[in-house]
Amino acid sequence: MMKKACRRREFLIGGTLAVGGTMLAGRVLGATESAVKAAGFKGFTQVDPGLFAGINRVANPEGKSILEKKHAPLIDIPAKIVAGQAFAVTLTMGEIAHPMGATHYIQNVDLLVGNEPAGHVEFRPEVATAKAMLYIRLDKPVTLVARAYCNLHGLWETRLEVAPVPSA
């Protein structure tokens, strides 16, 4: 009987502390909010969580959104690719240079030749421009795939069909 009463008392004390703690936290939060408002902080724009649900691609190449222009990798290659000869593939993020900073930056880019991984480049926030150059060689027509990952806006992909001409 005595044990039950003790447990009930402990429960009531715990409950009272929890309620008091919540009220105190509410008061502290309220004070923080007013300090934040006084400092001129205007909040932040909520990132669309749907961007992390899969691979993002440009919906309409003729009418890219700002988000697409900043994230979809550009794949630059020479006008003429000769079978068996190495050439440079330049990957740039993006059409509008993506910001690079401590809280928002391109973390990495991958290049695939068809389904085969051909290269992976990591970027640090201190990098001025998210741009990479890799040298590859092709023997047959293939799709180049570039995938860039932004820490705030997810994974972005661009594809480019390449058809090398036979070597002389």
Size of the residue set binding Fe ion (CB under 5 A): 3
- Give CA–CA dist 116/12, Å, rounded: 63
Instruction: Pick between residue 136 and residue 152 the one whose CB is nearest to Fe ion.
Output: 152
Q: Which residue is nearest to Fe ion (CB)?
A: 150
Output the six-digit token pair for 145. 């795939």
8 A C-beta contact, residue 91 and residue 148: yes
Q: From the CB of 121, what's the least distance to Fe ion, in Å?
A: 17
Q: Which residues, including other chains, have CB under 8 Å from residue 101's CB and lie 6 or more apart?
A: 125
Instruction: Pick between residue 89 and residue 150 the one whose CB is nearest to Fe ion.
Output: 150
Tell me: does residue 93 bind Fe ion (CB under 5 A).
no
Instruction: Pick between residue 90 and residue 107 the one whose CB is nearest to Fe ion.
Output: 107
Q: From the CB of 21, what's the least distance to Fe ion, in Å?
A: 38
Residues 134-163, one symbol each (x = binds Fe ion by CB under 5 A, - = not), give ----------------x-xx----------
Q: Which residues, including other chains, have CB under 8 Å from residue 154's CB and lie 6 or more apart?
A: 51, 52, 53, 56
Q: Which amino acid is at 76?
A: D
Q: From the CB of 97, what's the least distance to Fe ion, in Å?
A: 11
DSSP 50: G
Q: From the CB of 111, what's the least distance to Fe ion, in Å?
A: 19
- Give CA–CA dist 84/114, Å, rounded: 16
* Contact positions vs Fe ion (CB under 5 A): 150, 152-153
